[in-house]
Amino acid sequence: MATKIKPPVWLLTLVRILIGWHLFYEGLIKLINPAWSAAPYLMESTWIFSGFFKSLATSSALPVVDFINIWGLIFIGFGLFVGLMTRISAVSGVILLLSYYISQPPFTGLMLSGNLEGNYIWVNKNLIEIVMLLLIARIPKQWFFSFDNLLTGISFNRFTKNKTSSIEIPKTDNPKFSELPVLDRRRVIKNLISIPILGGFSYAVLKNFGYESYEEKNLKINGVTSASVKAANFAGLKDLKEKPPTSKIGNLEISRLICGGNLIAGFAHSRDLIYVSRLLKTYFTNEKIWDTFRLCEACGINSAVIRTASDSIKVMNRYWKLGGEIQWLAQTYPKDDDVITNSQWAIDSGASAVYIQGNIADRWMQAGRLDLFEKWLNHFYGKGCPVGVGAHELETVKAMEKNQFPVDFYMKTLHPHNYWSYQKDESKPVVINNLRDNYWSRTPEDTASYMETINKPWIAFKVLAAGALSPKNGFKYAFENGADFACVGMFDYQVVDDCNILSDTLKNLNGRKRNFV
């Protein structure tokens, strides 16, 4: 006589509840966060369907995609959690998770990082849950404690009430008979097992989101799968008013707002807060840098100023291999005895434009080494890659113009002095005395006046005085005083807001004298 195997009902119920917990939570945190959008996740798509997924991120269908993700996760997760319409919920979950898997498969060469948590070369959390949901959809519903069984029991008892069978069929001869639900107190309690767990879940969610500061709510990592990038998103693309306008630098089309590289490099210019640079380096993992670039591109920021160093080049090259297209304006570091190598390295590594870093250019100017500028420019100018000169000191720009050096663009600091740490006695050039932070733009009025006479593209940097000014004030001052572009260090959660501020600024300029280049 064959031994009847009893299904592991408690274990299978627990598996179903845990998957439901995950999906239900994913949906709720997206619903709670009004700025959430699937766009950054879609922009990360790396496989053969990446073009389709990326097009969704920038199309009018994005609100529909967001709605399907949020409410799909909520309804599927809740159904699995309590065991309501379990088979339909499981199949729907398979379809939704399969779309996530296809969008970002954990294939070798496509993953953001080889050791990324949750991705294990072909296998990731989405695939594991897909297989488990297929199992849940296939096994009999009597193998779970669920609302489905409870409702079936109610219907069965209602249908058979006051009815008797003329022939008694032994249970041992008809296994199906033993699977028919019997509505008794014990069965009701077992099938409602998910209710107290759901109560604990609800309490945890409310506590997690109800008593936190702004930073705790927005700067922590929550959802890590199910159409969420690997960090919280604070400003959604749906809030973007319009993309920044563009203009030409040489043969390049450049957005008027450019992503700065100091934050990514960890150079915070944070005055006496010496720990900030380490915090920045911790925050800006490679994945976070790529997330920031993707969001910039989705918002219309098509260029970034990044230093020429081995770590930066690796990050940029990997980003391009993943499908990114942001242009690299390379900040280069020519040496007195070798003005070529570092800049040539940048060009060979994919830089779209190169310029001499500001401190180096200021030092050359102060030392009277115009021969170094001439050698550098003669080597790189006119070879298809726009060349520029950076400067904190206006005298550096004046020297380039006076000697009619062939410069395609200038990187020149510009910001007002109405910030709290400004000190009036800072009057010496940066290369002689940089003990105070306002050396970044010592002579803003003179800079604005002189740049009116120059018909070359001007990228203004340090427009926020290293965080001392708000973007609204910094952008207004820079563009009203002649800047063609603004290079600004941005966290990912500032990108959309900065684009919107730029849009408002350019539409309400007052008193600009210099024509846009």
The neighbour count for residue 505, using CB atoms within 10 Å, is: 22
- What's this model's pTM, rounded to 2 decimal places? 0.66
pLDDT at 74: 94
Tokens of 253: 């089309």
| Residues with Cβ within 8 Å of residue 117, at least 6 apart in sequence | 224
**CA 51 – CA 233 distance, rounded (Å):** 22
List of domains in the chain: 9-164+180-218 (no CATH), 246-507 (3.20.20.100)
pLDDT in tens, the chain (517 residues): 455 667 788 888 888 989 998 999 999 988 887 778 888 788 778 778 888 988 888 788 888 999 999 999 999 999 998 888 999 999 999 999 999 999 888 875 555 544 455 566 788 888 999 999 999 998 887 787 877 777 765 554 544 444 444 445 454 444 444 444 455 566 666 566 666 666 666 666 666 555 555 445 554 444 444 555 544 344 467 788 999 999 999 999 999 999 998 877 777 777 777 788 888 888 888 888 988 898 899 899 999 999 999 999 999 999 998 888 999 999 999 999 999 999 999 999 999 999 999 999 999 999 999 999 999 999 999 999 999 999 999 999 999 999 999 999 999 999 999 888 777 765 555 555 555 555 678 899 999 999 999 999 999 999 998 888 999 999 999 999 999 999 999 998 899 999 999 999 999 999 899 999 9
Q: How far apart are the C-alpha atoms of 63 and 321, rounded to whole Å?
A: 29
Q: Rounded to whole angstroms, what are the CA distances from 510 to 115, 255, 458, 507?
A: 52, 21, 19, 9
Q: What 3-state DSSP class applies to 388?
A: strand
Q: What pLDDT does 167 receive?
A: 45
